[in-house]
Copies of this chain bind each other. A is one copy, B any other.
Amino acid sequence: MATRETNPNFMNGVPELLVLRLLQHEEMYGYEIVQAIRERTDAVIVFGEGVVYPVLHGLEHDGALRSRRKTVNGRSRIYYSVTAAGSRRLAALSQTWNNLATAIQSMLMGGHHAKTAS
């Protein structure tokens, strides 16, 4: 009911974020995305197909992605591209991630704080 009042787990959404980001400038297909994430992060982040495909389906279902089937070398691929809604979603996710990363960074670096504040 209602619009989902519960806080989504604040950390999640990274697979979504990376997928949207990859698709922002060029259309790609699932299998390609799996490898792109591994390669571009030097294997720091490795999302299996079991992670990527459900994300793609979910994003398409939400209208953030659009797909078209294409056959290359006898291989059937499903290329995804970002819709306007997807662009907005990407912007929002980026923002959220930035806030989070900044907050954590400041805690990790910040001096102990001293309660001196009046």
Residues of B within 8 A of A24 (CB): 112
Q: Tell whether A45 pairs with B108 under 8 Å between CB atoms, given A11-B11, A11-B12, A12-B11.
A: no
Q: How far is the CB of A111 from chain B (nearest CB, A)?
A: 9
Tell me whether chain A's interface is mostly helix, strand or loop, or mixed: helix
Q: How often does this chain occur in the complex, in copies?
A: 2
Which of A56-64, A76-84, A99-107 binds B?
A99-107
| Interface size in chain A (residues, C-beta < 8 A) | 32
Contact between B10 and A40, CB atoms less than 8 A apart: no
A residues at B contact (CB < 8 Å): 10-12, 14, 17-18, 21-22, 24-26, 37, 40-42, 44-45, 94, 97, 99-108, 110, 112-113
